[in-house]
Structure 1
Amino acid sequence: MTRNVAAAAATRFETPSSSTGLTNVRTKIVGNRTGILADGIVAVVRISRALGGRVQAMLSRVSSVVTPLGWTILALVPLSFGLGYRFGWIELVVAAWAGLVLLLVAALYLIGRNAFVVELGTAHSRVLVGEPAFGKVTITNPTRRRILGVTVEVPVGRALAVATMPSLARGAGFVHEFPIPTPRRGVVPIGPVRTVRADPVGLVRREIIWTDADELYIHPRTIGVPSTTTGFIRDLEGNPTRQISNSDVSFHALREYVPGDERRYIHWKSTAKTGRYMVRQFEETRRSHLVIALSLSSFDYANEEEFELAVSVAGSLGVRAIRDARAVSVVVGERTPDFAKRKVFAVSQLSTLTRSRLLDDLSTIEWDESALNVRDIARVVSEKVTGISVAFLVCGSRTTPTELRAASASFPVDVEVVAIVCDPEMVPGFRRVPGLSVLTIGYLEDLQKSLARSAAA
């Protein structure tokens, strides 16, 4: 009786087939079937898949080295053999044999692998626009055998620096210097260095990449701005503001005591004379916070020359403020995406940690028709940046006086707003309107004199 119950329990809880419920490749091919036939089918599929992967990898390697001309010759050779021998066309047979010889010779150029040590470098990672710059490729042979010469290619921006490396003996080296064009501000990608082995006809071309890509920052031109020209407001360097404070360091005037005033500021001599409590008033002193807002909108500039001048102006002001250890923010307007439903009101703040970081960021910016104009930038800056004492608005000749006045109205009344209009066709000038100083410069050298004139006014 006990044996029968155990047998029934074993039958009830018998483990199902191992393939039940699986969805792997085997079950997709033969399902739950087992046996020699199912195992044979699985083995054939497995072998064919492995061979297919190797064939695909081989074809991928071949296609990466065979040029379009090589594929054309490779297709014409068997066709020429068949038609030439079929119709007795001797010229076509000769052309087929010549094509076959060319293919065999081209294949010899792909045999072997070079063991180079390749280094890519530049004399400086940052240069000023217009300054000469050079890159250098160094290749050495660390092996014990002679290495045949190859062609060395280095992409430089949209150009290509090409050099022919001769054969290198054991321990020998090859150095090639190439110029880097710097006529315009920007970031020039350099590299990666690649070696090219190709047959003389151009049927095959084998490229090997040896290094990573590098970058060369081409900084905008800047001019030295005197420190005094940036102090448009009174600050902690010894100049008070127009704001009146009950507690500060710069004495302004006396007034009658009101409940809540601190007793330590009571002026006792004046109190004795007037018979009423008199307290001191002070002019508020604070550390100046400069904001340099650069417009990237193409509608604010007549041409690219004006925009480059504006970038140089922003860089000159920012570099001077960083050198003076002032609090400075350099902002540019964001661009609206092409398919956005509404305009993006935002600004990007450039790095002002060091002079190089600021100029690096200025090297990457470009003007765009969808970027915020100077009026919108002023609106966003006045809302996002606190504690502004001086705001420089840098724009081009297409910005109208009405737009500049509207931009200055976005800031509080105690903020000194200076608009710098870059127009190479205008005579440098300075004019003052309520709440706004407008400087017009034609060249970067005009910035120094114009700022001095504005500060004096």
Structure 2
Amino acid sequence: MTVTSRGVALLAAAVLLLTAGFRFAYPELAVLGAAAAVAVAGALLHAAGQPRLTVTRSADPDRVARGEPATMTLTLGNRARLRPVNLLAEDSCGNRAVPVPVLRLRPGHDTTVSYPVPTHRRGVIPVGPLRVTRHDALGLVSVTRRYGQSAPVWVYPRVHPLRAVPTGVARSLDGRVDGVPHGSITFDSLREYVVGDEMRRVHWRTSARIGELMVREHVDTSLPRLVVLLDNRAAAHPAARGGIAETFEAACEAAASVVTAALHEELPVTLLEVVAGGTELPSPLDRLAATELTRAPGDGMLREVLGRLRRDRLGDTLVFLTGPGGAADLGDVAALRPSAYPSLLVGLFGAAGVSAGGAAGLTVLEAADGAEFAAEWDGVRRW
């Protein structure tokens, strides 16, 4: 609850008038002071009254690609028994406020208000809660209350269709074309036994050592396993305007295109960031919507991630997506092949006139945006 400048002035005038009226025996001044005090007290009582509103919201849809339409729908209900409400509310949508008029909502009735959500930029847009501000008739007091919960709208990067996907390092059992003659099912890791696992997969030596059943996990090496590494270091995308780097947006579009193409082909794919985010999201597209440029704490962050990729060997095909500031790091990336990642491709965005040092042996696709990357990707003959 906030007392406006008009209310403060009237309250001060009430004190002065009451003091002068009683001190100098002027009943007229005392009456004026009492009237001013009553006006302020009435404004406080009016503002203290809380309308009984219920607010529910739904986004249709709540996950869209950049530039696609999304609509937020609010349903407001007046749960008062006798008093109608007539007010103007505001809904916060990202960094802007959207006016939501509630005109003469009768008791026990609902009204629905819809408005478009801006999706011209990738990101997670928080929408809500609804803010209702009430003023008294004289404008002496105002009070703002929040109703309902907030709901995020996920704006994904644009996805550009890719006609080609990488092939595996062994012959595909499903008929995919590749460069080696025989496929295989190989050991990948151990995990705890769960009901339903086949007993022939139990690794008895490890189970006896740790005192609980452990079973083998295998992986089909006939399928290409993609690892997409997104360079989200601020140093890799230096041309940021207003906190937005177009080369990073293009890299996010490329990552979304590769991930979508792999999922469409039912291929294993892993999405990683050079600087990991604080919140783990299960969906790679959700992660691409939420990711932001981060100032890496030191120049060795990329080397640390590459070292972990070499050690863990998460796949056979690595796709590294970076900006002009990452061109000097391609030598470290090239060191991963051929032992760790036989197939290695680099997407380099906004690097016109920039020397890609150490890129020998790499397939480097230089592109200005996501659409150009998709065209270059489909032109790679080795797929």
State whether residues 405 and 436 of structure 1, in contact with CA within 8 Å, keep that contact through their aligned partners in structure 2.
Answer: no
How does 1:394-405 map onto structure 2 within 5 Å? 394-400=321-327, 402-405=328-331
1:157 aligns with 2:94: yes
SS at match of 1:312: helix
* 1:131 partnered with 2:68: yes
Instruction: Please say if residues 146 and 167 of structure 1, whose CA atoms lie closer than 8 Å, have aligned partners that are also in contact.
Output: no
Residue 143 of structure 2 aligns with an amino acid whose one-letter code is R
Q: Distance in 1 between matches of 2:364 and 2:114?
A: 48
RMSD across aligned C-alpha pairs, in angstroms? 3.7
- Once the two structures are TM-superposed, the CA of residue 200 in structure 1 deviates from its matched residue by 4.1
**Which of 226, 232, 247 is residue 306 of structure 1 equivalent to?**
247
Amino acid at match of 1:311: C
**For the residues of structure 1 that align with 2:25 and 2:106, how far apart are their CA atoms?**
51
Return closer, same or farther for 1:65/1:135 CA change in 2, 3 Å cut-off.
same
3-state SS in 2 of match to 1:438: strand
- Structure 1: gaps of 5 or more residues: 1-63, 250-283, 336-346
CA distance in 1, matches of 2:114, 2:145: 20
How far has the Cα of 1:230 moved from its partner?
2.9
Q: After the TM superposition, which residues 85-96 of structure 1 pair with which residues of structure 2 at under 5 Å, given as runs?
A: 86=23, 96=33
Residue in structure 1 matching 2:129, options 192, 211, 214: 192
Tell me, yes or no, if structure 1 residue 444 matches structure 2 residue 381: no
| Displacement after TM superposition at 1:229 (Å) | 3.5
Alignment of 1:370-385 (within 5 A): 370=296, 374-383=302-311, 385=312
1:424 CA drift (Å): 7.4
- Residue 117 of structure 1: CA displacement? 3.4
Equivalent residue pairs, number: 338
User: Structure 1 pair 319/349, CA: closer, same or farther in 2 (3 Å)?
Assistant: farther
Match of 1:330 among 271, 275, 279: 271
Contact 1:294 1:374 in 2 (8 A): no
2:298 matches 1:361: no
In structure 1, the partner of 2:113 is: 176
Q: Distance in 2 between matches of 1:431 and 1:324?
A: 34
Higher strand proportion: 2
Q: Do structure 1's residue 296 and structure 2's residue 262 form an aligned pair?
A: no
More helix by share: 1
Q: Which amino acid in 2 is paired with 1:316? A: S
- What aligned pairs does 1:48-447 form with structure 2 within 5 A after superposition? 64=1, 66=3, 70=7, 73-83=10-20, 86=23, 96=33, 99-110=36-47, 112-142=49-79, 144-226=81-163, 228-231=164-167, 235-236=171-172, 237-241=175-179, 286-303=222-239, 304-334=245-275, 357-370=283-296, 374-383=302-311, 385-400=312-327, 402-413=328-339, 415-423=342-350, 434-447=360-373
Bigger shift: residues 96-105 or 167-176: 96-105
Contact 1:239–1:285 (CA<8 Å) still a contact in 2? no
Separation of aligned partners in 2, 1:179 and 1:80: 52
Q: What's the TM-score once normalised by structure 1's chain length?
A: 0.63
**1:117-173 CA distance string (max 9 Å, x none):** 332222211122223332222223455534131232322222222233222334433
Distance 2:333 2:279 in 1: 18
Partner SS, residue 381 of structure 2: helix
Letter matched to residue 365 of structure 1: T
Q: 1:27 corresponds to which residue?
A: none
1:323-367 per-position Cα deviation (integer Å, ceiling 9, x unaligned): 1111111100226xxxxxxxxxxx88975x6xxx22111111110
Q: 1:239 to 1:127 in 2, by over 3 A?
A: closer
- The farther-off stretch of 364-373 and 290-299 is 364-373
Letter in 1 for 2:77: T
SS in 1 for 2:315: coil
> 1:76/1:109 Cα in 2 relative to 1: closer, same or farther (>3 Å)?
same
Q: Identify which of structures 1 and 2 has the higher relative contact order when contacts are C-alpha pairs closer than 8 Å and 6+ apart.
A: 2
Q: Which has the larger radius of gyration?
A: 1
The 1:285–1:152 alpha-carbon spacing in structure 2 relative to 1, beyond 3 Å, is closer
| Residue 241 of structure 1, CA deviation | 4.4
Pairwise CA distance, 1:185: 1.0
Equivalent residue number for residue 207 of structure 2: none
In 2, Cα distance between equivalents of 1:146 and 1:349? 45
Distance of aligned partners of 1:100 and 1:349 in 2 relative to their CA distance in 1, 3 Å threshold = closer
- SS of 1:149's partner is strand
Deviation (angstroms), 1:370: 1.7
SS at match of 2:249: helix
Within-5 A mapping of 1:26-37: none
* Deviation for aligned residue 1:435: 3.1
SS at match of 2:68: coil
- TM-score (norm: length of structure 2): 0.74
Partner Cα distance (2:156, 2:6) in 1: 43
